Chain A
Amino acid sequence: MSDHDIDEILEIIWMHNEKGENDLCVVQDEIKNGRLHDALAEMETNGLVKLVDGKVSFTPDGEKQASNLLRRHRLAERLLIDVLDTKKDELESTACEFEHILSEEVTDAICTLLGHPKFCPHGLAIPPGNCCKQAQKLIESVITGLDNIDIGQWVTVAYILAHQHPRLHKLMSFGIAPGVKIKVHQKSPSYVIQVAETQIALEEDIVKDIFVRR
Chain B
Amino acid sequence: MKKVALVGNPNVGKSVIFSHLTGIYVTVSNYPGTTVEIARGVGVIDGEKVEVIDTPGINSLIPSSEDEKATLDILEAEHPDLVVQVADAKNMLRTLLLTLQLKKMGFPILLDLNMIDEADQRLIEIDSQKLEKIIHTTTIKTTASEGMGITDLKKAIKKNIMCPVEYKLNKLNEKKHFQKEAAHICRDVQKVPKRKILFLERLGDFTTRPLTGIPFAFVVLWLLYQFVGVYAAQDGVGFMEEIVFGKFINPLAIKLADFFIPTPIIKEFFVGQYGVITMALSYAIAIILPILSAFFLFFAVLEDSGYLPRLSILLNKSFRKIGLSGKAVIPMVLGFGCDTMATMTVRTLETERERIIATFLLALAIPCSAQLGVILGMMSSLSAAAVLLWIGIISFIFSVAGYFSSKIIPGRSSDFILEIPPIRIPRFKNIFVKTFARIKWYLFEAVPLFIIGTAALFFLDKLYILNFIENLASPIVVSFLGLPAKAAEAFLIGFFRRDYGAAGLYALNRQGLLNHNQIVVSLITITLFVPCVAQFLVMIKERGWKAALLIVAFIFPFAFLIGGIVNFALNYFRIIL
Q: Which residues of A contact B180 (CB under 8 A)?
A: 179
- A202 beta carbon closer than 8 Å to chain B: yes
Q: Which residues of A contact B416 (CB under 8 A)?
A: 190, 201-203, 206
Q: Which residues of B contact A177 (CB under 8 A)?
A: 177, 179
Q: Which residues of B contact A203 (CB under 8 A)?
A: 316, 325, 415-416
Task: Choose among B179, B317, B417, B420 the residue with the greatest number of A CB atoms under 10 Å from its CB.
Answer: B417
B94 A175 Cβ-Cβ under 8 A:
yes
Q: Which residues of B contact A195 (CB under 8 A)?
A: 93
Docked CA distance A178–B204 (Å): 28
Q: Which residues of B contact A200 (CB under 8 A)?
A: 417-420
> Contact check: which of A172, A173, A189, A197 meets B313 at CB < 8 Å?
A189
Q: Which residue of A lies closest to B201 (CB)?
A: A199
The minimal Cβ–Cβ distance linking A133 to chain B, given in whole angstroms, is 35
- List A67-118 residues whose CB lies under 8 Å from chain B: none
- A166 beta carbon closer than 8 Å to chain B: yes
The minimal Cβ–Cβ distance linking A40 to chain B, given in whole angstroms, is 45
The minimal Cβ–Cβ distance linking A142 to chain B, given in whole angstroms, is 22
> Contact check: which of A167, A169, A189, A206 meets B210 at CB < 8 Å?
A189
Q: Which residues of B contact A186 (CB under 8 A)?
A: 205, 208-209, 313
Docked CA distance A179–B192 (Å): 17
> Contact check: which of B64, B122, B183 meets A170 at CB < 8 Å?
B64
B417 A199 Cβ-Cβ under 8 A:
no
A170 B313 Cβ-Cβ under 8 A:
no
> Contact check: which of A175, A178, A185, A201 meets B418 at CB < 8 Å?
A201
A170 B417 Cβ-Cβ under 8 A:
yes
B64 A169 Cβ-Cβ under 8 A:
yes
The minimal Cβ–Cβ distance linking A192 to chain B, given in whole angstroms, is 6
Q: Which residue of A lies closest to B88 (CB)?
A: A197
Encode contact with A along B60-100: 1 for CB under 8 Å, 0 otherwise: 10101000000000000000000000001011111001000
B418 A169 Cβ-Cβ under 8 A:
no
Encode contact with A along B317-328: 1 for CB under 8 Å, 0 otherwise: 100000001100
- B250 beta carbon closer than 8 Å to chain A: no
Q: Which residues of B contact A174 (CB under 8 A)?
A: 59, 94, 417, 419
Docked CA distance A178–B147 (Å): 37
Q: Which residues of A contact B326 (CB under 8 A)?
A: 190, 201
Docked CA distance A188–B62 (Å): 31
- A196 beta carbon closer than 8 Å to chain B: yes
A198 B91 Cβ-Cβ under 8 A:
yes
The minimal Cβ–Cβ distance linking B526 to chain A, given in whole angstroms, is 33
> Contact check: which of B174, B312, B415 meets A206 at CB < 8 Å?
B415
- B382 beta carbon closer than 8 Å to chain A: no
- A41 beta carbon closer than 8 Å to chain B: no
> Contact check: which of B92, B179, B204, B313 meets A196 at CB < 8 Å?
B92
Q: Which residue of B lies closest to A168 (CB)?
A: B177
Docked CA distance A78–B290 (Å): 63
A197 B316 Cβ-Cβ under 8 A:
no
Docked CA distance A120–B309 (Å): 37
Q: Which residues of B contact A124 (CB under 8 A)?
A: none
The minimal Cβ–Cβ distance linking A15 to chain B, given in whole angstroms, is 32
Encode contact with A along B158-186: 1 for CB under 8 Å, 0 otherwise: 00000000000000001001011001000
Docked CA distance A178–B183 (Å): 11
- List A139-198 residues whose CB lies under 8 Å from chain B: 166-167, 169-175, 177-180, 185-186, 188-190, 192, 195-198
Q: Which residues of A contact B97 (CB under 8 A)?
A: 172-173, 175
B316 A201 Cβ-Cβ under 8 A:
yes
Docked CA distance A129–B292 (Å): 67
- B26 beta carbon closer than 8 Å to chain A: no
B210 A196 Cβ-Cβ under 8 A:
no
- B302 beta carbon closer than 8 Å to chain A: no
The minimal Cβ–Cβ distance linking A10 to chain B, given in whole angstroms, is 37
Task: Choose among A178, A180, A186 the residue with the greatest number of B CB atoms under 10 Å from its CB.
Answer: A186
Docked CA distance A197–B418 (Å): 14
Docked CA distance A181–B413 (Å): 29
A167 B313 Cβ-Cβ under 8 A:
no
A196 B420 Cβ-Cβ under 8 A:
no
Q: Which residues of A contact B92 (CB under 8 A)?
A: 196
Q: Which residues of A contact B183 (CB under 8 A)?
A: 179-180
Docked CA distance A178–B180 (Å): 9
A173 B317 Cβ-Cβ under 8 A:
no
Docked CA distance A198–B192 (Å): 14
Given A169-B64, A189-B313, A200-B420: A175 touches B91 (CB 8 Å cut-off)? yes
A192 B313 Cβ-Cβ under 8 A:
yes
B59 A201 Cβ-Cβ under 8 A:
no
Given A190-B416, A192-B208: A169 touches B62 (CB 8 Å cut-off)? yes
- B314 beta carbon closer than 8 Å to chain A: yes
Q: Which residue of A lies closest to B318 (CB)?
A: A189
B93 A167 Cβ-Cβ under 8 A:
no
Docked CA distance A198–B88 (Å): 10
Q: Which residues of A contact B192 (CB under 8 A)?
A: 196
Docked CA distance A169–B124 (Å): 27
Encode contact with A along B324-342: 1 for CB under 8 Å, 0 otherwise: 0110000000000000000
Q: Which residues of A contact B309 (CB under 8 A)?
A: 201
A197 B122 Cβ-Cβ under 8 A:
yes
> Contact check: which of A170, A171, A180, A201 meets B312 at CB < 8 Å?
A201
Given A172-B177, A175-B94, A196-B90: A201 touches B420 (CB 8 Å cut-off)? yes
Q: Which residue of A lies closest to B186 (CB)?
A: A196
Q: Which residues of A contact B93 (CB under 8 A)?
A: 175, 180, 195-196
Docked CA distance A49–B192 (Å): 63
Q: Which residue of A lies closest to B192 (CB)?
A: A196
Q: Which residues of A contact B317 (CB under 8 A)?
A: 189-190
Encode contact with A along B504-539: 1 for CB under 8 Å, 0 otherwise: 000000000000000000000000000000000000
Q: Which residue of A lies closest to B416 (CB)?
A: A203
Q: Which residue of A lies closest to B417 (CB)?
A: A202
> Contact check: which of A167, A172, A185, A199 meets B179 at CB < 8 Å?
A172
Q: Which residue of B lies closest to A177 (CB)?
A: B179
Provide 5 A-B residue pairs closer than 8 Å at the C-beta atoms, listed in order of the A residue. A167-B417, A170-B59, A175-B91, A189-B210, A198-B419
| Apart from A173-B64, A174-B419, A201-B326: 7 A-B pairs, beta carbons within 8 A | A174-B94, A175-B91, A189-B210, A190-B317, A197-B90, A202-B415, A203-B416
* Residues of B participating in the A interface, judged by any CB pair closer than 8 Å: 59-60, 62, 64, 88, 90-94, 97, 118, 122, 124, 174, 177, 179-180, 183, 192, 204-205, 208-210, 309, 312-314, 316-317, 325-326, 415-420, 422
* Residues of A participating in the B interface, judged by any CB pair closer than 8 Å: 166-167, 169-175, 177-180, 185-186, 188-190, 192, 195-203, 206
The 5 nearest A-B residue pairs measured at CB: A173-B59, A173-B60, A197-B90, A199-B420, A177-B179
